[in-house]
Amino acid sequence: MLLDFSKLDETSIYKLISNTVTPRPIAWISTEHNGIVNLAPFSYFIPLSSEPPMLIVSIGKKEDESPKDTLANFLAGSKVTINFVHKELRAIMSQSATSLDYTQSEFEHFGIEGKKMLEDYPMMVKDTKAALFCSFVKTLPIEGSETTPCLLHIEHAYYADDVIDERLHVCLENVGRVGGKFLINGEIIS
């Protein structure tokens, strides 16, 4: 099911976002620049508003203090695809956190299968159960912070048929991160 958030009411958007973005899930973010699709996980990620539908993801810096590729791509105008991670994707998601050269795609390097769902957005991870298609709005710098909060506008959402019902109730088992451990529904899986 592909949903266009511009055609949904605030209650429906709230229901979708609040049931999709469960306690600190991993935002596995696809961005694109010069034909190279970047894919990186971030755990500082939370919904902000249903009307308009917005989220914030905070992105740190590389060891050399330069912006991580995802932030560089946001600033260069890339649209954003946020893939949600379920148990079977956890290991490959962890591998994709490895720092690669800006000219290398994590999809290609780690053999992650992608799927182009919407023409104007970077491809999503083929086996994800949910994805949010967003545009970058702006950074919200916090003085003294090591991360850069980025405001994203949710424009579309994808849900696998087995995780959403006709009343827009979503049932996901997103992998989250707490204290260096991964968990699903409050239970530690590693």
What is the residue extent of each domain of the chain? 2-188
Q: Where are the alpha helices (DSSP H) in 10-115?
A: 10-20, 69-75, 90-95, 106-109
- Displacement of CA 116 from its chain's centroid (Å): 15
Q: Distance between CA 185 and CA 190 in Å, rounded?
A: 13
Q: How many CB atoms lie within 10 A of CB 113?
A: 10
Nearest to residue 43, comparing CAs of 61, 30, 56?
Answer: 56
Work out the mean pLDDT of the chain and round it to a whole number: 91
pTM of the model: 0.88
Q: Distance between CA 62 and CA 120 in Å, rounded?
A: 27
- The per-residue pLDDT for range 126-143, each reduced to its tens digit, is 999 999 999 999 999 889
Q: Where are the alpha helices (DSSP H) in 76-125?
A: 90-95, 106-109
Q: How many CB atoms lie within 10 A of CB 87?
A: 12
- The per-residue pLDDT for range 32-90, each reduced to its tens digit, is 999 999 999 998 899 999 999 999 999 988 888 889 999 999 999 999 999 999 999 99
Residue with tokens 């780690």: 110
- Give the pLDDT of residue 149: 96
- Give the pLDDT of residue 22: 57
CATH 3.40.50.12170 fits 2-188, yes or no: no
